[in-house]
Amino acid sequence: MATVKVTDSSFDADVIGSETPVLVDFWAEWCAPCKQIAPALEEVSDELSGKVTIAKVNIDDDPDTPSKFHVRAIPTLMIFKGGEVVATKSGAMTKTKLTEWINEHV
Catalytic site residue 34? Answer: yes
pLDDT band at 2 (very low <50, low <70, confident <90, very high): confident
- Active-site choice (15, 24, 34, 48): 34
CATH number for the domain running over 4-100: 3.40.30.10
Rounded to an integer, the average pLDDT of 34-48 is 95
pTM over 0.75: yes
Q: Render pLDDT for 55-106 as a digit per residue (tens, 0 to 9).
A: 999 999 999 999 999 999 999 999 999 999 999 999 999 999 999 999 999 9
Instruction: Classify strands 84-90 and 53-58 as parallel, antiparallel or unpaired.
Output: unpaired
**Residue-wise DSSP of 8-63:** TTTHIIIIIT-SS-EEEEEE-TT-HHHHHHHHHHHHHHHHTTTT-EEEEEETTT--
- Active-site choice (6, 15, 31, 77): 31
Average pLDDT, the chain: 96
Judge whether residue 1 has pLDDT over 80. no
**For the chain, what are the domain ranges?**
4-100
